[in-house]
Amino acid sequence: MLKTDQLTPHPDLAAIVQQHQRHPWKKPCPAHTRAAFDRLLERCGCDARPLILDSFCGTGMSTAILAERFPNALVIGLDQSSHRLGKHRASDRDNYLLLQAEAEPFWYCLAEAGLTLIAHWILYPNPWPKASQLKRRVHGHGAFPVLAQLGGEMELRTNWRVFAEEFAEAAALIGLSGAMERFSTDDPMTLFERKYHKRGHDLWRFRGAFFN
């Protein structure tokens, strides 16, 4: 089970998200992330399908599953680790693309290019379980508010209840309406989900959408 010194949502969460809304995150886009984004632009030039993003996709197992489930979309799996992406088991779907990129600057590239999503999946992002690590969690990160510009539906999954509660609280602040719930599955979408399922962990998800 997850070791944490934080048993309830972080008391500073709302203030931090609001600060990030007032002061947008600024960091130069790493060259490899820009190159990955250029690959997407090139693909969009000849593939007009709406976009689904699978951020922090690990080996891309979920990316291939989403591509199968949504044949009319182009599904983009993003992960910073070439090692993880290198373990991808290729499927025969032609409607997905795995890109080695940092998710947060990639989201900015999408927003700056005016590209939007029909759905965004964030499955088992690193929990950063110490209270002092709040700003490293996806919803405590300076880039979190830019997700509102990308739009679409959102599904976040985690094995840490507090993380899901925090995500739901932060989501509401950026106009992402939805709810969290406990769920179970016999058909895991990712390797982490499979591992947590085997170990009998409770699983939590937030599902919602931006209504712009």
Ligand X SMILES: C[S@@+](CC[C@H](N)C(=O)[O-])C[C@H]1O[C@@H](n2cnc3c(N)ncnc32)[C@H](O)[C@@H]1O
Binding mask of the shown chain, residues 147 to 166, with x at each position contacting ligand X by CB under 6 A: --------------------
**How far apart are CB 89 and ligand X at their closest, in Å?**
13
Token code pair at residue 113: 């290019």
Q: Closest residue to ligand X, Cβ-based? A: 58
Candidates 56-64, 89-97, 172-180, 199-207; binding stretch for ligand X (CB under 6 A): 56-64
Among 67, 110, 123, 174, the residue binding ligand X under the rule CB under 6 A is 123
Spatial distance between the Cα atoms of 182 and 25, rounded to a whole number of angstroms: 32
Token code pair at residue 130: 């110490």
| Binding of residue 143 to ligand X (CB under 6 A) | no
| Binding of residue 167 to ligand X (CB under 6 A) | no
At residue 33, what is the residue type?
T
| Binding of residue 190 to ligand X (CB under 6 A) | yes
**How far apart are CB 82 and ligand X at their closest, in Å?**
9
Candidates 22-30, 78-86, 164-172, 174-182; binding stretch for ligand X (CB under 6 A): 78-86
Spatial distance between the Cα atoms of 121 and 112, rounded to a whole number of angstroms: 20
| Binding of residue 81 to ligand X (CB under 6 A) | yes
- Asked whether 74 and 95 are in contact (CB, 8 A), the reply is yes
Total chain residues near ligand X (CB under 6 A): 19
| Binding of residue 185 to ligand X (CB under 6 A) | no
- Asked whether 7 and 72 are in contact (CB, 8 A), the reply is no
Residue 13, classed as helix, strand or coil, is helix
| Binding of residue 2 to ligand X (CB under 6 A) | no
- Asked whether 85 and 64 are in contact (CB, 8 A), the reply is no
Spatial distance between the Cα atoms of 57 and 124, rounded to a whole number of angstroms: 9
How many CB atoms sit inside 10 A of residue 95's CB? 17
Nearer residue to ligand X within complex by CB, 104 or 166? 104
Candidates 8-16, 44-52, 121-129, 158-166; binding stretch for ligand X (CB under 6 A): 121-129
What are the φ/ψ torsions at residue 167 (nearest 5 degrees)?
A: -60, -45
At residue 112, what is the residue type?
E
Q: Which residues contact ligand X (rule: CB under 6 A)? A: 56-58, 78-81, 84, 102-104, 123-126, 190-193
